Chains A and B, each alone.
Chain A
Amino acid sequence: MSLKNERKLIYVVAIICLVVGVFCYSSPTAAPPESPVRLMFKTVGGNVLFDHQTHSATYGLGCLDCHHDQEAGSAKLPGDCTACHGIDSKHVPAMGENGKFNHEVHGQDLGLACSDCHHEYDEGSGAEPQLCSDCHEPGGDDDAMLNRQDAFHKQCIGCHEESGITPGKKDCAGCHEPRKRADAFHGQCISCHEDVGAGPAGGDADCKKCHGF
């Protein structure tokens, strides 16, 4: 092939490629699936690649198992987790300072007796009711005695579920301010993995099982 023809051939190739390329970039491509296939969570501890499709389709998880604020059967797309679980959110305890628990409403308006909650308290003794943490130690892990968090949850949620008064079992934000994003994700993912006994689990010691993408 002569040099002139070689050059002509390349000009034709360039024009065809340019037209095809512009067409491919400018024409609408297939819309991304309504439900994400995979998600990349960017974190300071190393990115996490979450296979959304496998968790929803293969493992049979429902949307509400993770998107807990979504209304059941709603066609609305799940919102951004960060809308509630801020990066620096404070997970305020339900009890104590800044907590949402209203002792007066529970004791006077709803008519609960002291011993309904302070279950070792003798109302006739005239003494101050004992503190829950006198027996239920914070962070304790004793088979014979519930730790403080479990004791509160059991006490409050049990009564609310029984009486049908909100907040109920899954309405964490009804009593607490939402926890910060990292804690929410860790709690959600790890607790589920531990419950089903599959996938990365085990808490902080096994960060590299998820983080590293």
Chain B
Amino acid sequence: MFSTLKLTVSHAPFWHIGSSTSSKSRNILLASLLAVVPGCYQYGQAAVGVVTIAIASAIIWELLINFISRRPISVGDGNAALVGMIFAMMLPATTPWWAVVTGTFFAVVIGKGIFGGIGANPFNPAVLAMTIVMLSWSHLFDFNAALLNYQFDFNAVYPLVLSKAFGAPAVESFAVMDLLKGKQIGGIGSTFGIGLILGGVYLMLRGYIRWEISVSFLAGIFAAALGFNFLNPELYAGPGFHLFTGYTLIGAFFLATEDSSSPVNFIPMLIYGLLGGALTILIRNIGTHIDGVLYAILIINLVNPIVDKIRPKAIGKGV
């Protein structure tokens, strides 16, 4: 039976922003470099290896899925390279090559390709892949255990583990400015807060990501962390700590904002972001996992189609 629903699109007039998918990918890749380059500087050759293998393998997986599914070659849009880069940003520098390659397979093939390619994925491919590999080989992604042999000039303990296991007093030594400057251990491109914020602001100003999602995600983190801290300041760290540790900033600017898995209407975007931020803190503070960003984003990806139904009534519809 012919489905009219498939032909329902937004209402005219349409306005081309003068950009393209490849241009968007290039810009996000450039913005991500602001956090990735300091990460590579901090962790050295090992981090460069992880990032480059992730990008290369993501492109190769996309080529393979194009060949297997007999679809046009789509690597030129840069999305596969971008997925590889964002996946690498969350990894510890010590990740073995096979875990990187397996992860990009999950991201490009399972997270995107089998749903029909770019624009059809219900979950952020990099987040889905990261969650799968973390659950499969948790020992590889324990930052405390993975980075044992690195010498730093700061307290080299994953801050979220400290706060989870030992309460708020244990993380008082982490100053906000130090966290922003990347003086914490974590993923290659997830710890240099200044770079992530600058990259995020650039992408918001250029319109490549929606500010409503990023700002509301951070607002959700802030409000939920403040609430917990108010209830029990001995047990739960304050919002300043949660905003700049773990995957918070990469989540706000590079993960939650992925086009296909996030809403397009104003109110839904705010709900989506706020929910993601609040869920992150719930998982961090009363859940069993150390960082809640990845699970929170997968959950809001799931609710995206529902919240996106909150939209202005179409003029003339039903007439």
Contact = CB atoms under 8 A, between A and B. Distances in A.
B45 A27 contact: yes
B161 interface: yes
Given A10-B76, A33-B149, A213-B144, A18 B56 contact: yes
Interface stretch (A36-44, A89-97, A164-172): A36-44
Contacts of A18: 52-53, 56, 60
A51 B150 CA distance: 12
Consensus secondary structure, chain A interface: helix
Given A13-B81, A36-B148, A21 B49 contact: yes
Given A209-B166, A212-B165, A37 B151 contact: yes
A13 B161 contact: no
Contacts of B164: 212
A145 to B, nearest CB: 39
Contact of B97 (A11, A25, A209): A25
A24 interface: yes
Nearest to B157: A49
A147 interface: no
A37 B156 CA distance: 10
Consensus secondary structure, chain B interface: helix
Contact of B148 (A4, A6, A40): A40
Contacts of A33: 149, 151
B308 interface: no
Interface string B279-296: 000000000000000000
A37 B49 CA distance: 23
Contacts of B56: 14-15, 17-18, 21
A13 B59 contact: yes
A39 B97 contact: no
Contacts of A37: 148-151, 156
Given A10-B75, A10-B76, A25 B145 contact: no
A24 B81 contact: no
15 contacts: A6-B76, A14-B81, A17-B53, A18-B53, A21-B50, A25-B49, A29-B44, A29-B45, A37-B149, A37-B150, A38-B144, A39-B148, A40-B144, A208-B165, A213-B165
Closest 6 CB pairs of A and B: A24-B49, A212-B165, A21-B53, A7-B76, A21-B52, A6-B76
